[in-house]
Amino acid sequence: MNDLVAHPSAFPRPPWRWLRHRLADRATQLAESGDVAGAAVLRTMLEAWWREQQQWDAAACELLRANHEINNALVGVSGNAQLMLLSPAGQQPKIRERLQVVLRESERIERAAQHLQALKAALANGDTDGIDASNAA
């Protein structure tokens, strides 16, 4: 998990994608060994589960749109804090100290939002096994 914190775009592959491929392979093996009915049941269950999984992924991505709202708010907060640092009020030591805390905490929130973006990208990338967070919207 520490690698994820250091590189949020390197979010691991969702385990259910691997499971889907393994179950599909198993259904093929069943059919090839003569258990056509068992293969058909497994495929039916697999496809029903996969549709539900895709719906869940889409709902999770929708919830993770908060990332965009967080980033928009951060631009305003950090921009105004930087402007205040340049003002006469920002030259007062106690006020300057508090504004620097606001900027530092804004950076923490930005890093957390990047992690949400990586998760959103991983969930949105449903048709492939690899995760490429750079393509997330």
Q: Is 5 part of a structural domain of the chain?
A: no
Provide the number of structural domains found in the chain. Answer: 2
Token output for 119:
């998760």
% of the chain with per-residue pLDDT over 70:
82
Q: Is 124 found in the same domain as 59? A: no
Average pLDDT over residues 3-20: 68
Residue showing tokens 């709902």: 59
Q: For residue 127, is it within any domain?
A: yes
Q: Return the pLDDT at 9.
A: 56
Query: What residues make up the domain containing 130?
Result: 66-137
- Is 131 found in the same domain as 74? yes
Q: Are residues 72 and 134 in the same domain?
A: yes
Residues 70 and 104 in one domain: yes
Q: What is the mean pLDDT of the chain?
A: 83
Q: How confident is the model at residue 37 (pLDDT cuts 50, 70, 90)?
A: very high
Question: Both 59 and 74 in a single domain?
Answer: no
Same domain, yes or no: 59 and 77? no
| Average pLDDT rounded to a whole number, residues 117-123 | 79
Q: Give pTM, 2 decimals.
A: 0.54
Question: Is the domain of 95 the same as that of 106?
Answer: yes
Which has the minimum average pLDDT: 49-53, 76-80, 124-128? Answer: 124-128
pLDDT class of 87 with cuts at 50, 70, 90: very high
pLDDT value, residue 71: 87
**pLDDT-based confidence at residue 77 (cuts at 50, 70, 90):** very high
